[in-house]
Amino acid sequence: MTENIPKIQKAVEGADFEALLINSEQNRFYATGFPSSAGELLITGDESVLFIDSRYFEEASAKIKTARVEELKNRQKAYEQMADFLNKKGVKRLAVEMGSMSHSQFLMLDEKLPFELVNGQELISGLRAVKSEEELQLLRNAQAVASKSFLELVPRITRNMSERDVATELFCLMLRNGADDKAFDTISVNAVHSSSPHGHPDGRKLQNGFLTIDFGARVAGYNSDTTRTICIGDPDREMEKVYNIVLAAQLEAMDKARPGMSARDYDGVARKVIADAGYGEYFTHSLSHGLGIDVHERPFSGQGSTDVLQAGNVVSDEPGIYIPGKWGVRIEDCIVIKEGGVENLCDLRKDLWVI
Ligand SMILES: [Mn+2]
Protein backbone atom coordinates (compact mmCIF):
# COMPACT_ATOMS: atom_id res chain seq x y z
CA MET A 1 0.00 0.00 0.00
CA THR A 2 1.53 3.31 -1.07
CA GLU A 3 0.61 6.50 0.72
CA ASN A 4 1.08 9.58 -1.43
CA ILE A 5 0.05 12.07 1.25
CA PRO A 6 3.67 13.25 1.80
CA LYS A 7 3.99 13.94 -1.94
CA ILE A 8 0.71 15.89 -1.93
CA GLN A 9 1.69 17.83 1.22
CA LYS A 10 4.86 18.99 -0.50
CA ALA A 11 2.85 20.19 -3.51
CA VAL A 12 0.34 21.98 -1.27
CA GLU A 13 3.24 23.73 0.45
CA GLY A 14 4.24 25.30 -2.86
CA ALA A 15 0.68 26.07 -4.03
CA ASP A 16 -1.28 29.31 -3.78
CA PHE A 17 -3.69 27.75 -1.29
CA GLU A 18 -3.04 26.45 2.21
CA ALA A 19 -5.12 23.27 2.25
CA LEU A 20 -6.61 20.72 -0.11
CA LEU A 21 -9.83 18.81 0.52
CA ILE A 22 -10.03 15.42 -1.18
CA ASN A 23 -13.34 13.58 -1.26
CA SER A 24 -13.31 11.70 -4.56
CA GLU A 25 -12.81 7.96 -4.30
CA GLN A 26 -9.86 7.82 -6.70
CA ASN A 27 -7.89 10.68 -5.19
CA ARG A 28 -8.59 9.45 -1.66
CA PHE A 29 -7.20 6.06 -2.69
CA TYR A 30 -4.19 7.68 -4.36
CA ALA A 31 -3.45 9.72 -1.24
CA THR A 32 -3.98 7.07 1.42
CA GLY A 33 -3.58 3.75 -0.42
CA PHE A 34 -6.76 2.78 1.40
CA PRO A 35 -9.87 1.93 -0.68
CA SER A 36 -13.09 3.47 0.66
CA SER A 37 -16.33 4.75 -0.83
CA ALA A 38 -16.56 7.79 1.47
CA GLY A 39 -14.39 10.06 3.55
CA GLU A 40 -13.06 13.63 3.67
CA LEU A 41 -9.30 14.07 3.58
CA LEU A 42 -7.80 17.44 4.49
CA ILE A 43 -4.19 18.02 3.52
CA THR A 44 -2.06 21.02 4.52
CA GLY A 45 1.67 21.50 4.06
CA ASP A 46 2.52 19.80 7.34
CA GLU A 47 -0.52 17.93 8.64
CA SER A 48 -3.30 15.78 7.22
CA VAL A 49 -6.51 14.42 8.68
CA LEU A 50 -8.99 11.92 7.28
CA PHE A 51 -12.60 12.01 8.50
CA ILE A 52 -14.12 8.61 7.81
CA ASP A 53 -17.25 6.82 9.01
CA SER A 54 -17.56 3.75 11.24
CA ARG A 55 -17.57 1.28 8.33
CA TYR A 56 -13.91 2.07 7.65
CA PHE A 57 -12.67 3.79 10.81
CA GLU A 58 -10.94 0.88 12.54
CA GLU A 59 -9.16 -0.44 9.46
CA ALA A 60 -8.22 3.04 8.22
CA SER A 61 -6.78 3.96 11.65
CA ALA A 62 -4.65 0.83 11.66
CA LYS A 63 -3.40 1.14 8.08
CA ILE A 64 -2.94 4.82 7.28
CA LYS A 65 0.31 6.16 8.67
CA THR A 66 0.62 9.60 7.11
CA ALA A 67 -2.69 11.17 8.17
CA ARG A 68 -4.52 11.37 11.46
CA VAL A 69 -7.77 9.41 11.17
CA GLU A 70 -10.89 10.71 12.91
CA GLU A 71 -14.24 8.99 13.04
CA LEU A 72 -16.95 10.86 11.22
CA LYS A 73 -20.11 10.33 13.28
CA ASN A 74 -22.28 13.16 12.19
CA ARG A 75 -21.91 15.02 8.93
CA GLN A 76 -22.93 18.41 10.35
CA LYS A 77 -20.39 18.05 13.16
CA ALA A 78 -17.72 16.91 10.70
CA TYR A 79 -17.93 20.21 8.84
CA GLU A 80 -17.46 22.03 12.18
CA GLN A 81 -14.44 19.84 12.97
CA MET A 82 -13.03 20.46 9.50
CA ALA A 83 -13.53 24.22 9.82
CA ASP A 84 -11.89 24.11 13.26
CA PHE A 85 -8.86 22.29 11.91
CA LEU A 86 -8.55 24.67 8.97
CA ASN A 87 -8.90 27.75 11.19
CA LYS A 88 -6.19 26.46 13.51
CA LYS A 89 -3.97 26.04 10.48
CA GLY A 90 -4.64 29.63 9.43
CA VAL A 91 -6.16 28.56 6.11
CA LYS A 92 -7.59 31.30 3.88
CA ARG A 93 -7.91 29.45 0.59
CA LEU A 94 -9.11 25.86 0.49
CA ALA A 95 -8.63 23.90 -2.72
CA VAL A 96 -11.34 21.41 -3.67
CA GLU A 97 -11.79 18.96 -6.54
CA MET A 98 -13.88 21.17 -8.78
CA GLY A 99 -13.55 18.81 -11.72
CA SER A 100 -15.15 15.82 -10.04
CA MET A 101 -17.71 17.06 -7.53
CA SER A 102 -21.34 17.78 -8.24
CA HIS A 103 -22.68 21.30 -8.16
CA SER A 104 -24.75 20.52 -5.07
CA GLN A 105 -21.66 19.19 -3.26
CA PHE A 106 -19.84 22.39 -4.11
CA LEU A 107 -22.70 24.55 -2.81
CA MET A 108 -22.73 22.50 0.40
CA LEU A 109 -19.00 22.98 0.97
CA ASP A 110 -19.29 26.65 0.14
CA GLU A 111 -21.98 27.02 2.79
CA LYS A 112 -20.37 24.88 5.49
CA LEU A 113 -16.73 25.86 5.15
CA PRO A 114 -16.12 29.63 5.43
CA PHE A 115 -13.01 29.77 3.26
CA GLU A 116 -12.29 30.93 -0.25
CA LEU A 117 -12.73 27.78 -2.36
CA VAL A 118 -10.29 27.39 -5.25
CA ASN A 119 -9.61 24.60 -7.72
CA GLY A 120 -7.21 21.88 -6.58
CA GLN A 121 -7.92 19.46 -9.41
CA GLU A 122 -4.83 20.29 -11.46
CA LEU A 123 -2.47 19.82 -8.55
CA ILE A 124 -3.54 16.29 -7.84
CA SER A 125 -4.13 15.19 -11.43
CA GLY A 126 -0.62 16.49 -12.23
CA LEU A 127 0.89 14.42 -9.43
CA ARG A 128 -1.07 11.33 -10.43
CA ALA A 129 0.15 11.62 -14.03
CA VAL A 130 3.73 10.82 -12.97
CA LYS A 131 3.90 7.27 -11.67
CA SER A 132 6.23 6.05 -8.94
CA GLU A 133 8.13 2.79 -9.40
CA GLU A 134 5.58 1.07 -7.12
CA GLU A 135 2.73 2.30 -9.28
CA LEU A 136 4.50 1.16 -12.46
CA GLN A 137 4.80 -2.30 -10.95
CA LEU A 138 1.06 -2.35 -10.18
CA LEU A 139 0.33 -1.32 -13.78
CA ARG A 140 2.63 -4.08 -15.08
CA ASN A 141 0.78 -6.57 -12.88
CA ALA A 142 -2.62 -5.49 -14.22
CA GLN A 143 -1.32 -5.76 -17.79
CA ALA A 144 0.14 -9.22 -17.16
CA VAL A 145 -3.26 -10.51 -16.01
CA ALA A 146 -5.00 -9.00 -19.04
CA SER A 147 -2.40 -10.25 -21.53
CA LYS A 148 -2.44 -13.81 -20.17
CA SER A 149 -6.24 -13.81 -20.31
CA PHE A 150 -6.30 -12.60 -23.90
CA LEU A 151 -3.88 -15.34 -24.96
CA GLU A 152 -6.20 -17.88 -23.36
CA LEU A 153 -9.26 -16.27 -24.92
CA VAL A 154 -8.32 -16.27 -28.60
CA PRO A 155 -8.11 -20.07 -29.08
CA ARG A 156 -11.55 -20.36 -27.42
CA ILE A 157 -13.30 -18.03 -29.86
CA THR A 158 -15.67 -19.89 -32.19
CA ARG A 159 -18.34 -18.82 -34.68
CA ASN A 160 -20.93 -20.07 -32.23
CA MET A 161 -20.08 -17.24 -29.89
CA SER A 162 -21.48 -13.72 -29.91
CA GLU A 163 -19.65 -10.47 -29.22
CA ARG A 164 -21.12 -10.63 -25.73
CA ASP A 165 -19.92 -14.19 -25.22
CA VAL A 166 -16.40 -13.06 -26.10
CA ALA A 167 -16.60 -10.23 -23.56
CA THR A 168 -18.02 -12.54 -20.86
CA GLU A 169 -15.41 -15.23 -21.49
CA LEU A 170 -12.61 -12.68 -21.26
CA PHE A 171 -14.02 -11.27 -18.01
CA CYS A 172 -14.10 -14.76 -16.45
CA LEU A 173 -10.54 -15.44 -17.59
CA MET A 174 -9.31 -12.15 -16.13
CA LEU A 175 -10.97 -12.92 -12.78
CA ARG A 176 -9.47 -16.42 -12.72
CA ASN A 177 -6.06 -15.00 -13.55
CA GLY A 178 -6.11 -12.62 -10.60
CA ALA A 179 -8.03 -9.49 -11.60
CA ASP A 180 -10.17 -7.88 -8.91
CA ASP A 181 -12.48 -6.61 -11.65
CA LYS A 182 -12.49 -5.52 -15.26
CA ALA A 183 -11.09 -2.03 -15.76
CA PHE A 184 -14.13 -1.10 -17.91
CA ASP A 185 -16.81 -2.86 -19.93
CA THR A 186 -15.04 -4.79 -22.67
CA ILE A 187 -15.65 -3.54 -26.19
CA SER A 188 -16.02 -6.56 -28.43
CA VAL A 189 -17.17 -5.55 -31.91
CA ASN A 190 -17.22 -7.75 -34.99
CA ALA A 191 -17.53 -7.18 -38.74
CA VAL A 192 -19.67 -4.11 -39.50
CA HIS A 193 -19.90 -3.24 -35.77
CA SER A 194 -16.14 -2.75 -35.66
CA SER A 195 -16.58 0.59 -37.43
CA SER A 196 -17.87 2.00 -34.09
CA PRO A 197 -14.80 2.68 -31.93
CA HIS A 198 -16.82 2.25 -28.73
CA GLY A 199 -19.60 0.00 -30.02
CA HIS A 200 -21.64 -2.16 -27.65
CA PRO A 201 -21.32 -5.94 -27.89
CA ASP A 202 -24.54 -7.71 -28.88
CA GLY A 203 -25.85 -11.26 -28.99
CA ARG A 204 -25.67 -12.20 -32.67
CA LYS A 205 -23.21 -14.89 -33.72
CA LEU A 206 -19.74 -13.86 -34.85
CA GLN A 207 -19.24 -13.43 -38.58
CA ASN A 208 -16.21 -13.39 -40.85
CA GLY A 209 -14.35 -10.12 -40.57
CA PHE A 210 -12.55 -8.06 -37.97
CA LEU A 211 -13.15 -8.59 -34.28
CA THR A 212 -11.87 -5.67 -32.21
CA ILE A 213 -11.49 -6.33 -28.50
CA ASP A 214 -10.69 -3.41 -26.15
CA PHE A 215 -10.24 -4.69 -22.64
CA GLY A 216 -8.56 -4.16 -19.29
CA ALA A 217 -8.03 -5.76 -15.91
CA ARG A 218 -8.05 -4.00 -12.56
CA VAL A 219 -5.60 -5.31 -9.98
CA ALA A 220 -5.00 -3.64 -6.60
CA GLY A 221 -6.70 -0.45 -7.77
CA TYR A 222 -4.66 -0.05 -10.99
CA ASN A 223 -5.89 -0.69 -14.53
CA SER A 224 -4.67 -1.99 -17.84
CA ASP A 225 -6.04 -0.95 -21.24
CA THR A 226 -5.33 -2.88 -24.44
CA THR A 227 -6.93 -3.29 -27.86
CA ARG A 228 -6.32 -5.97 -30.40
CA THR A 229 -8.10 -6.41 -33.70
CA ILE A 230 -8.07 -9.99 -34.93
CA CYS A 231 -9.68 -11.42 -38.03
CA ILE A 232 -12.22 -14.23 -38.31
CA GLY A 233 -11.60 -15.84 -41.68
CA ASP A 234 -9.10 -14.44 -44.15
CA PRO A 235 -8.93 -10.66 -44.57
CA ASP A 236 -9.33 -9.12 -48.03
CA ARG A 237 -6.59 -6.92 -49.46
CA GLU A 238 -8.03 -3.64 -48.15
CA MET A 239 -8.48 -5.04 -44.65
CA GLU A 240 -4.88 -6.13 -44.62
CA LYS A 241 -3.71 -2.78 -45.97
CA VAL A 242 -5.64 -0.77 -43.38
CA TYR A 243 -4.50 -3.04 -40.55
CA ASN A 244 -0.89 -2.42 -41.53
CA ILE A 245 -1.40 1.36 -41.73
CA VAL A 246 -2.84 1.41 -38.18
CA LEU A 247 0.04 -0.74 -36.97
CA ALA A 248 2.61 1.51 -38.66
CA ALA A 249 1.01 4.58 -37.04
CA GLN A 250 1.00 2.89 -33.63
CA LEU A 251 4.67 1.86 -33.88
CA GLU A 252 5.74 5.28 -35.17
CA ALA A 253 4.06 7.09 -32.23
CA MET A 254 5.71 4.68 -29.78
CA ASP A 255 9.05 5.26 -31.44
CA LYS A 256 8.82 9.06 -31.30
CA ALA A 257 7.29 9.47 -27.81
CA ARG A 258 9.69 11.09 -25.37
CA PRO A 259 9.71 13.36 -22.32
CA GLY A 260 9.22 17.02 -23.22
CA MET A 261 7.08 16.32 -26.31
CA SER A 262 3.61 17.84 -26.17
CA ALA A 263 0.87 15.24 -25.95
CA ARG A 264 -0.69 16.79 -29.07
CA ASP A 265 2.55 16.38 -31.03
CA TYR A 266 2.64 12.74 -29.93
CA ASP A 267 -0.92 12.40 -31.24
CA GLY A 268 0.17 14.11 -34.46
CA VAL A 269 2.86 11.50 -35.19
CA ALA A 270 0.30 8.71 -35.58
CA ARG A 271 -2.22 11.01 -37.25
CA LYS A 272 0.30 11.94 -39.95
CA VAL A 273 1.03 8.29 -40.82
CA ILE A 274 -2.69 7.63 -41.27
CA ALA A 275 -3.32 10.88 -43.18
CA ASP A 276 -0.35 10.26 -45.50
CA ALA A 277 -1.84 6.85 -46.32
CA GLY A 278 -5.11 8.57 -47.30
CA TYR A 279 -7.25 7.54 -44.32
CA GLY A 280 -6.99 10.71 -42.19
CA GLU A 281 -10.73 11.33 -42.08
CA TYR A 282 -11.29 7.86 -40.60
CA PHE A 283 -9.12 8.35 -37.51
CA THR A 284 -11.84 10.03 -35.49
CA HIS A 285 -10.63 10.02 -31.89
CA SER A 286 -7.50 11.11 -30.07
CA LEU A 287 -4.43 8.88 -29.94
CA SER A 288 -3.88 8.74 -26.23
CA HIS A 289 -4.86 9.18 -22.62
CA GLY A 290 -3.05 8.56 -19.35
CA LEU A 291 -3.72 5.36 -17.39
CA GLY A 292 -3.55 4.56 -13.69
CA ILE A 293 -6.17 4.50 -10.96
CA ASP A 294 -8.52 5.81 -13.64
CA VAL A 295 -8.63 4.30 -17.12
CA HIS A 296 -8.68 7.81 -18.55
CA GLU A 297 -6.54 10.37 -16.74
CA ARG A 298 -3.85 12.92 -17.58
CA PRO A 299 -1.99 13.37 -19.78
CA PHE A 300 -4.55 13.65 -22.60
CA SER A 301 -3.55 14.08 -26.24
CA GLY A 302 -6.79 15.49 -27.63
CA GLN A 303 -7.58 18.88 -29.13
CA GLY A 304 -7.20 21.61 -26.53
CA SER A 305 -4.87 19.60 -24.29
CA THR A 306 -1.80 21.46 -23.05
CA ASP A 307 -0.27 18.38 -21.40
CA VAL A 308 3.40 17.66 -22.07
CA LEU A 309 4.75 14.11 -21.84
CA GLN A 310 6.99 13.56 -18.84
CA ALA A 311 9.14 10.66 -17.67
CA GLY A 312 6.91 8.43 -15.55
CA ASN A 313 3.71 9.06 -17.52
CA VAL A 314 1.82 5.95 -18.58
CA VAL A 315 -0.13 6.64 -21.75
CA SER A 316 -2.06 4.70 -24.33
CA ASP A 317 -1.00 4.54 -27.97
CA GLU A 318 -4.20 3.68 -29.81
CA PRO A 319 -4.69 4.83 -33.38
CA GLY A 320 -7.62 3.49 -35.36
CA ILE A 321 -9.24 3.64 -38.78
CA TYR A 322 -13.03 3.24 -38.89
CA ILE A 323 -14.87 3.10 -42.20
CA PRO A 324 -18.59 3.61 -41.58
CA GLY A 325 -20.77 0.78 -42.81
CA LYS A 326 -17.75 -1.45 -43.43
CA TRP A 327 -15.38 -2.19 -40.55
CA GLY A 328 -12.70 -0.70 -38.35
CA VAL A 329 -9.30 -1.45 -36.85
CA ARG A 330 -7.73 -0.24 -33.59
CA ILE A 331 -4.48 -1.36 -31.98
CA GLU A 332 -3.66 -0.18 -28.46
CA ASP A 333 -0.80 -0.64 -26.05
CA CYS A 334 0.03 1.40 -22.98
CA ILE A 335 3.57 2.65 -22.63
CA VAL A 336 5.74 4.22 -19.94
CA ILE A 337 7.40 7.45 -21.05
CA LYS A 338 11.09 7.31 -20.17
CA GLU A 339 14.31 9.08 -21.05
CA GLY A 340 15.86 7.25 -23.97
CA GLY A 341 12.80 5.33 -25.15
CA VAL A 342 9.50 4.00 -23.92
CA GLU A 343 8.66 0.80 -22.07
CA ASN A 344 5.74 -1.05 -23.64
CA LEU A 345 3.65 -2.61 -20.85
CA CYS A 346 2.02 -5.01 -23.32
CA ASP A 347 3.87 -7.71 -25.25
CA LEU A 348 0.88 -9.26 -27.07
CA ARG A 349 1.60 -9.93 -30.75
CA LYS A 350 0.54 -7.29 -33.25
CA ASP A 351 0.76 -8.99 -36.62
CA LEU A 352 -2.79 -9.66 -37.86
CA TRP A 353 -4.03 -12.70 -35.95
CA VAL A 354 -6.36 -14.70 -38.21
CA ILE A 355 -8.56 -17.38 -36.65
MN1 LIG B 1 -7.57 3.28 -24.16
Which residues keep their CB under 5 angstroms from ion ligand 1? 225, 316
pLDDT bracket for residue 167 (50, 70, 90): very high
CA diameter of the chain: 71
Same fold? 5-129, 133-344: no
In the reported structure, the alpha carbon of residue 288 is separated from the centroid of ligand 1 by a whole-number distance in angstroms of 7
In the reported structure, the alpha carbon of residue 267 is separated from the centroid of ligand 1 by a whole-number distance in angstroms of 13
Read off the pLDDT of residues 209-265 as tens digits, 9 standing for 90 and up. Answer: 999 999 999 999 999 999 999 999 999 999 999 999 999 999 999 999 999 999 999
In the reported structure, the alpha carbon of residue 64 is separated from the centroid of ligand 1 by a whole-number distance in angstroms of 32
pLDDT bracket for residue 1 (50, 70, 90): low
pLDDT at 100 over 70: yes
List Cβ neighbours of 185 (8 Å cut-off, separation of 6 or more).
167
Class of the 5-129 domain? alpha beta
320 residue type, one letter: G
Distance of CA 242 to the CA centre of its chain: 27
In the reported structure, the alpha carbon of residue 123 is separated from the centroid of ligand 1 by a whole-number distance in angstroms of 23
In the chain, the N- to C-terminal Cα span, in Å, equals 41
* Helical H segments across the chain, by residue range: 5-13, 25-32, 54-63, 75-88, 103-112, 121-129, 133-153, 163-176, 237-256, 263-276
DSSP 185-221: PPEEEEGGGGGSTTPPP-SSBP-SEEEEEEE-EEETT
> Looking at residue 270, what is its pLDDT?
98
In the reported structure, the alpha carbon of residue 291 is separated from the centroid of ligand 1 by a whole-number distance in angstroms of 8
In the reported structure, the alpha carbon of residue 289 is separated from the centroid of ligand 1 by a whole-number distance in angstroms of 7
In the reported structure, the alpha carbon of residue 135 is separated from the centroid of ligand 1 by a whole-number distance in angstroms of 18
Residue 305, classed as helix, strand or coil, is coil
For 133-344, CATH number out of 3.20.20.150, 3.90.230.10, 3.40.50.140, 3.30.70.270 equals 3.90.230.10
In the reported structure, the alpha carbon of residue 216 is separated from the centroid of ligand 1 by a whole-number distance in angstroms of 9
> Looking at residue 279, what is its pLDDT?
98
Taking residue 284's Cβ as centre, other Cβ atoms within 10 Å add up to 12
Average pLDDT over residues 14-20: 97
In the reported structure, the alpha carbon of residue 54 is separated from the centroid of ligand 1 by a whole-number distance in angstroms of 37
Read off the pLDDT of residues 253-301 as tens digits, 9 standing for 90 and up. Answer: 999 999 999 999 999 999 999 999 999 999 999 999 999 999 999 999 9
In the reported structure, the alpha carbon of residue 237 is separated from the centroid of ligand 1 by a whole-number distance in angstroms of 27
What are the sequence ranges of the domains in the chain?
Answer: 5-129, 133-344
Average pLDDT over residues 85-102: 94
List Cβ neighbours of 22 (8 Å cut-off, separation of 6 or more).
28, 31, 40, 41, 42, 43, 97, 124
pLDDT at 196 over 70: yes
pLDDT bracket for residue 2 (50, 70, 90): confident
Q: What is the mean pLDDT of the chain?
A: 96
In the reported structure, the alpha carbon of residue 52 is separated from the centroid of ligand 1 by a whole-number distance in angstroms of 33
Read off the pLDDT of residues 39-58 as tens digits, 9 standing for 90 and up. Answer: 999 999 999 999 999 999 99
Q: Distance between CA 328 and CA 186 in Å, rounded?
A: 16
In the reported structure, the alpha carbon of residue 215 is separated from the centroid of ligand 1 by a whole-number distance in angstroms of 9
Read off the pLDDT of residues 113-148 as tens digits, 9 standing for 90 and up. Answer: 999 999 999 999 999 999 999 999 999 999 999 999
